[in-house]
Structure 1
Amino acid sequence: MKVTIWGPNQGGNFVPGALIYGDPFLAEEGLAKLVKDRGFGDLLESNCHRFSYPNVTLEQLKLTCDAMPFLSTTRLVIVRNLLSSFDSRSKQGDSNKGTTSSWKGLSDYLSVMPDSTELIFVDGFLNSNNWMLRDLRGKTKIESCPAPRRSDLALWIRQRVSDRGSRISPSALTLLIHHVGSDLRTLDSEIEKLTLFVGERPIGESNVLALVSDVREANIFVAVDAVIESKGDLALRLIQKIRLGGAGAMYVLSMIGRQLRLVTLVKELQEDQTPYSDMGKRLQIKSDFVVQKTISQAKLVSWKRIMFLYDQVLAADQRIKKGILDEDLALELFVTEAVGLD
């Protein structure tokens, strides 16, 4: 994304500063690129100031921007989360109605701000009716960073992979999108991990299965499903697949144990008639996929079976730790015993 500071606005007029807003990951990436391109990273710390609303007032901001830079020609001032705090869609916006008037002079101040000050606002998604956004139009350079639409996500991923000198197969791409979704920060992190691992080789489905945590976790869900439904052969194949992907036996057991704990919590929440919309928060899980899978598993399993499966996980854990069985045999025996209860 190209960002120009102290550049012309859409009308061709020369304007100070910049506002970068939109998808939080892309906005921060845009800021990092601007700082790098303009050489702001070489500024003395005394000439760099970072604020986040509500921990700054307009008067404090003015005092900082008006100060002459120390042994430099530039003073960099970054303000985060200011505009979104006055967004009509946000609850915080409602609570800040009393302070709105104190920021009304911001756009007028930009016209008298010293040329030595580079003032950058960084924010998330904004309502087009945001009064401060409307007020700043024409007064500062504005760059929007919208997240790619779902239909464009595959292209965005391919470009990121290509920028890192690699390629990704269609099946690997589909698997990555299905399990990670449109969280750009997580996608970028997983892409970096995958490209570092494969080098110049293309990223294949097996790489995604082995390295992407959300995909490994999804395979655990399917394996737990198979155990709960007493599908021994399927459970063994899935666990073997997870093991071939590089996961240790203790990791597999710990993930199965974790999922059983989540199922237990969901059953308790269901008995308390907790609304579905509150489930994720109560479970401290952000992924809708995880919440939905756990709820469906809780409906299939009885309390008696949960306790039995807990016992089998503990028994397998002890067999491995005490050296009674090697890891693969212990997992195989776990599945055999776990599916044997009617």
Structure 2
Amino acid sequence: MGTAVALLVIGTALAVLAPRMLSHAHWQEQEPVVALWVWQCAVTAVLVCYAIALVLSGAALWPAMRAGLFQGAPNRVEASYNLGAGRPWQAVLAVTIGAAGMYLMGHLLREVAIARISRRMRYRALMSAAPVLPCETVGRERIVVLESEHPEAWALLVPRRPLQLVVSTGAMRTLTEAQLGAVLEHERNHARARHHWLLQSAGALASAFPRVSLFTGYAERVGRLVEMAADDVAARRFGRLATAEALVDLNEGRGAFGGPGPRVRPMPPVEWAPGAPVPAPVGQVAERVDRLLVGRPRLQPLQRLHLTTTGVFILVVPVLLAFAPGVAATLAR
């Protein structure tokens, strides 16, 4: 059972140390996609540590589970894990981790269910306001123009339905062609990268375990990082200036730059689940505009490769530790 204990120690240490290290990493604004990858690797590694510890604890308690886990393996491989007879503390450990896993799964299913209901309700409302015309050809996406004096643009992604890119007439009058293209490309990137999945999972982790700094830090960061990543995609195609100006024009009436807020509450962008971090809060819009205008250079390719490899290493360590006793026993003469 030394492997299970070691995995618990590593998982706990990573949950404590990773957010402290990542919170001081200023390169995240330069490479939001890489930062999302590293955060995901750290979170997944913690979950993998506890999942493997649960499996080993269960194998120590139940012979049938142990037989299935080591089926076909030499006896020395099973003996290398020193599972032995189940002890009381192993039962407590297995029950505790299992209950935490079920609790987390419940929160995740709740987030997904609420987001699905919200998407379908908004899709029906959108189809009622702007139904598909008989002569209209709809491919992978559909651009819908809605009558509204407020400049707004958002996207709605529903399974087995074309991506709905919604633009208000106020935005059509306010934005130039390049600015409107940047806004639509921003929303397309959210849909292509499935950013709502990241936000839902981060919201589920943070709501299930609000005292775990890694999960709360991930939930706080992911909303900002996905917006920056989408900004970068739009800026690469339509330019940083056009993207920044579009952000200003769409948000200056919402109090994002110190002005008065909107007279009418605008429709929220995309289908972000309740409980998840709200994307693009007005307090962060000014930071995003400054970031686009300053245009800090990206990291060097070797630096990006190093960070990506670091994320992979963090993710692989629990797996290597779990297999290490069995591999050592197999290679031993």
Shorter-chain TM-score bucket reads: under 0.3
Q: Which entry has the higher C-alpha Rg, 1 or 2?
A: 1
Question: Is the helix fraction higher in 1 or 2?
Answer: 2
TM normalised by structure 2 equals 0.28
TM normalised by structure 1 equals 0.27
- Of structures 1 and 2, the one scoring higher in RCO (CA 8 A, sep 6+) is 2
